[in-house]
Chains A and B, each alone.
Chain A
Amino acid sequence: MKKLLLSSIIVMIGFTFIGRLSYLQLFSFSPDQTLEDPAIKAIYDYPERGYVYDRNGELMVGNQPAYDVMFIPREVKPLDTLEFCNLLGIDKPAFIEKLRRARIYSPRLPSVLVPQLSKEDYARLQEKMRHYVGFYIQKRSLRYYTTNSAANVLGYISEVNERDLQNNPYYVAGELKGRTGIEKQYEEILRGRKGVKFIQKDRFNRDIGPYKSGKLDTLPEQGKEIHITLDKKLQEYGERLMNGKRGGIVAIDPKSGEILTMISGPTYDPALLVGRKRSKNYSKLHYDTISKPTWDRSILAEPSPGSPFKTMNALVALQEGVIDPSTKFRCYNGFYVGSQKKGCHCGGGVRDMNSGIYQSCNAYFAGTFRKIYEKYPTTDEGMDVWEKHMKSFGLGGYLGTDIPTGRPGRIPGKAFYDKWYGNGSWASSTIISNAIGQGEVAATPLQLANMTAAIANRGYFYTPHIIKKIGNTGAIDPKYTEPHQTTIDKEHFEPVIKGMANVYKYGTGRWVQIPGIEIAGKTGTVENFVRVNGERMQLTDHSVFVAFAPVENPKIALAVYIENGYYGSRYAGHIASLLIEKYIKGEITRKDLEKRMLEKTLEHEYAKPYSGEPFKINEYVW
């Protein structure tokens, strides 16, 4: 025992040491620790963020210099806090709080004290900075906009937050990151890659030369410029037309799926979300819960599509062979569902497909819709077929665009009604409103525009997208250059398009014809309700219009949706017509029409439900 005592102690010590070393060097060790190592300091070299051009090569987004006051917590030496805060224009508690948070984030990595100083502030501060050890000014570049339009499409960039830092090791505090729109979607392309230099430091934080002779250092990779499909002029013009109106507009080039314009009203100047006033302005926009300027109505609003949806039912009925273009239905200024009469404004009489479309006859489409169901033994089967056709147009689902937000709309199928009404307790009468685009169907303006583009192409569409060109040569994702076939055969489109063309010639859209351009379109007038303080009330109808032009060889397909704009050809029809003329002709010949749209606002309509007084809807006041 006494002879073995010391030997066993020696062996035990050996095991204990090796155990502890295994814990330190094998278990706690993490291989990628260059940035964690206090002996290595990384100095970043930021490339300029890529520019954004419109489809015609016109600059939309560039850069401007800005200056951040940065600091490294552990290098901060005691200072005259009050004087420094006065100099920077911040208050002392906020300053101390920032220091505290930065220390928690990392005592060694730089944090931002005051972001994005103006040039004047920078000049004033620059000479005094040397009195404050541990603080320095870093130059960054901010976005600069050559347009005051397309704020939601372009999106904005902002400083990375703690969550971004955790989720993506690329980012370092103080860097900027795309938050919405194309800034978010094409973040990595626009951003490029920062270069980094590693410097070996000693424990007094003095540089003692490059780390590993600079072997790990990288050069910055320039951000690439991108060209987007928007037409800057058209976008700006559209936004001017939206003055005082709420709604969404999407125009697509049907031959490529390129989005020509994407407007949401009300909108805001993208420059508001740049610089020091960004967060103040953002709060103002974000908390405007009534007009919701940051809520992009062109891709997020999902109203019932209204009458433009009738064209879809016509196409499905033709494809299913339940009607032909000459099939007639009688309109009794309405139609009957069971014993209940539903109204129609077409004027009554016998309707075939052509006049059914251009007079927007509800009775005609209720009949057509019924025939689709009657073809199949059960409503369920008819429903499935109908749903399949609709979805082939990109309705009732995400389109897969390169816009980082969106809504799927709704094509109510069997599952939807089973859930809503309970299994089997619904019938074709329950769903008849879908015949005229008024029931449970819902679509975003983008989906309506895409649907119109598919009609314009007589049966196929390209996934709508915003990217045109990456860099000087860069190709875009091939999924945007492959056509998607709809389930409707080509020949069935002509009779429907004929009806749509007649909308302008004889029908609901004859007031907004454009001399010299043949347009096919369809008006829509959508009943809608709102709940204010728990009270459900009906508001003035939404004005909807879809159109494409020219009828032969279409260049533009668009959907315009104006909240509470009354009937289809009123606001939506006017705006659609002006946009088409602007895009195809480049100038407006109908100055009175233009003037009216630029001046008229719908603010009085939007104020009605909040007035607290009874109000009339659908008033005819120009």
Chain B
Amino acid sequence: MSGKGLFGRIDWLTVFLYAFLVFIGWINIYSTTLSDPNASIFDFSTLYGKQLFFIGLALIGVVFVLFIETNFFERFASIFYIISMFLLLGLFVFGKTIAGATSWYDLGFFNLQPSELAKVATALALAKYLSDIQTDIKNRKHQLYALLIILLPALLILPQPDPGSSLIYFSLFFVLFREGFPLYYLGILLTIVILFATTLMFGTVWVAIGLVILTILIFIFKRKSTKIPILPLVGIIIASVLFSLSVRFVYDNVFEQRHRDRFALWLSLEKDEKKLEEIRKTIGYNTYQSEKAIESGGFFGKGFLEGTRTKGDFVPEQHTDYIFSSVGEEWGFMGTVTVILLFTFFFLRLIYIAERQKNDFSRMFGYGVISILLIHYFINIGMVIGLLPTIGVPLPFFSYGGSGLIFFTMLLFIFLKLDSNRLKDGI
């Protein structure tokens, strides 16, 4: 194996899945942004033409990545991280504001979004820190350092404001969990989310009743031998109820109306048809239109370039964050399920690749890559099909936009480059 050149050692299945996703993405960008059917697809004044150009740039980036010395990424990880943190800081002074968020540097021909760069850098830095032989994940202090690496960029991005990008960094927790970070942190996080949602939907009283019933069920169905510590359990219940009580307070007093509207829409809290109609027209407009567009596709879809809502431009931001609704309308259930399955296989393949790494750094970086791509995919499609509240993150490889496409590609191919070198690492 080691005798083969670089092209023999790269994981072609992943490359193929990647290329296929980019292709489907572009097809849908073409359909959403087409206004003159006679224009050439290479017409760079059109958005689909530009996206084609970005695909070209990304390929150049790929070649670049593949020919760099493998050690380069590990060796300079800390420096990348520090540079990108400075770039994020620099935004407060030199940033360009687009659509209310100061997230870009204006490079003349290109708007650079450093938070995209920081994703790559943070994944590298985290992998580097954790793979250091001196780092012990069980050590509280080291856990804290790892958390800092993740949270620093998130905190710098939050005030741009870009809560969506900020949220992405939390996905890197999966790297920690993979490396032995205690899983009950995940349990606590999940409990908080569930308590938050159920309190808003049913109220504290019902949440309390539910908790008591749950406890009783645990006692009924536990194995005879298992002993359940009573005191901590009661403590957990009381803590949960207190949290539940505070949720209502925070929701009513700390959240702003626009936040409340988003949650109201997400959790179907609003029953008044008139107010619902109002929400659909304002904050929920995108979600409503996108759901309707997907729904109208049915099983077979309306056909390529035949989507009436796509053509009529009914779904705002359809070529960027809402690109998946175009898949839904024009390609129907067949199309959407194909895309979901492609992504699922793509991620599982990446996990398989990550797990076969002999080098800790490569595996940890691999997990970082998967976590970042996965959370984009989860939040984006979840939002477009109305399962999650509106959080503006792009769909990897699909959404229109240069920074996104190029950095997602770099992220993936740095990992593939590391993988292509895995056999040498053993030596």
Contact = CB atoms under 8 A, between A and B. Distances in A.
B385 interface: yes
Contacts of A40: 308
A25 B339 CA distance: 15
A203 B344 contact: no
A1 interface: yes
B314 A17 contact: no
A425 interface: no
A39 B298 contact: no
A7 B312 contact: no
A25 B308 contact: no
- The 10 residue pairs across chains A and B that have the minimum distance between CB atoms: A39-B312, A39-B308, A25-B333, A14-B344, A29-B298, A202-B312, A24-B295, A203-B314, A10-B347, A21-B336
B119 interface: no
Given A14-B340, A208-B312, 17 more contacts: A2-B177, A2-B180, A3-B178, A6-B178, A13-B374, A14-B343, A21-B294, A21-B336, A24-B294, A24-B295, A24-B386, A25-B294, A25-B333, A200-B308, A202-B312, A203-B313, A203-B316
A475 interface: no
A20 B295 CA distance: 10
Contacts of A200: 308, 311-312
Contacts of A17: 340, 381-382, 385, 387
Interface string B343-357: 110011001000100
B312 A21 contact: no
Contacts of A211: 308
A447 to B, nearest CB: 52
A607 B92 CA distance: 95
Contact of B328 (A21, A33, A203): A21
A38 interface: yes
Interface in B296-313: 296-299, 306, 308-309, 311-313
Contacts of A13: 344, 374, 377-378
B53 interface: no
Contacts of B309: 37-39
Given A10-B344, A37-B308, A21 B298 contact: no
A201 interface: yes
Contacts of B238: none
A24 B351 contact: no
A25 B351 CA distance: 31
A7 B178 CA distance: 11
10 contacts: A5-B177, A10-B347, A17-B382, A20-B385, A20-B387, A22-B333, A24-B295, A24-B386, A26-B299, A29-B299
A378 interface: no
Nearest to A17: B340
Interface string A69-103: 00000000000000000000000000000000000
Given A24-B295, A200-B308, A2 B337 contact: no
Given A21-B328, A39-B311, A11 B294 contact: no
A611 interface: no
Nearest to B367: A6
A6 B291 contact: no
Contacts of B348: 7, 10-11
A29 B381 contact: no
Given A202-B312, A202-B313, A3 B295 contact: no
Among A2, A13, A22, A201, the one with the most B-chain Cβ atoms within 10 Å of its Cβ is: A13
B272 to A, nearest CB: 14
A16 interface: yes
A21 B177 CA distance: 30
B345 to A, nearest CB: 9
Given A5-B174, A6-B178, A25 B374 contact: no
The DSSP consensus for interface residues of chain B is helix
Interface of B: 174, 177-178, 180, 183, 289, 291, 294-299, 306, 308-309, 311-314, 316, 328, 332-333, 336-337, 340-341, 343-344, 347-348, 351, 355, 367, 370-371, 374, 377-378, 381-382, 385-387
Given A6-B174, A6-B367, A200-B308, A25 B344 contact: no
A2 B183 contact: yes
A340 interface: no
Give the interface centre of B306, B344, B371 by most chain A CB atoms within 10 Å: B344
A296 B308 CA distance: 52
A200 B347 CA distance: 39
A614 interface: no
A1 B333 CA distance: 33
B387 A25 contact: no
A28 interface: yes
B385 A24 contact: yes
Interface in A187-217: 200-203, 208, 211-212
Contacts of A29: 295-299
Nearest to B387: A20
A7 B346 CA distance: 11
Q: Which of A10, A11, A38 has the most CB of B within 10 A?
A: A10
A25 B295 CA distance: 5
A201 B1 CA distance: 59
Contacts of A593: none
A25 B174 contact: no
Nearest to B306: A212
Interface size class of A (residues with CB under 8 A): 35 or more
A274 to B, nearest CB: 37
Given A17-B381, A39-B312, A6 B351 contact: yes
A165 interface: no
Contacts of A21: 294, 328, 333, 336-337, 340, 385
Contacts of A22: 333
Nearest to B328: A25
* Central interface residue in A14, A28, A38, by most chain B CB within 10 Å: A14
B22 to A, nearest CB: 20
B324 to A, nearest CB: 10
A25 B313 contact: no
A31 interface: yes
B177 A10 contact: no
B332 A25 contact: yes
Contacts of A476: none
A33 B355 CA distance: 49
A18 interface: yes
A37 B293 CA distance: 9
B298 A25 contact: yes
A191 B425 CA distance: 84
Contacts of B174: 5-6
Contacts of A33: 296
Interface in A301-348: none
Contact of A31 (B298, B306, B341, B377): B298
B95 to A, nearest CB: 31
Nearest to A211: B308
B12 to A, nearest CB: 21
Contacts of B306: 212
A31 B299 CA distance: 10
Nearest to B355: A3
Nearest to A27: B295
A208 B312 CA distance: 8
Contact of B296 (A6, A9, A16, A37): A37
A38 B374 CA distance: 34
B178 A2 contact: yes
A106 to B, nearest CB: 12
Nearest to B370: A6
A506 B295 CA distance: 83
Interface string A19-63: 011101110110101000111100000000000000000000000
A200 B308 CA distance: 7
A26 B333 contact: yes
B314 A39 contact: yes
Contacts of B289: 203
Contacts of A1: 183
B35 to A, nearest CB: 9
A1 B182 CA distance: 12
B313 A14 contact: no
A542 to B, nearest CB: 57
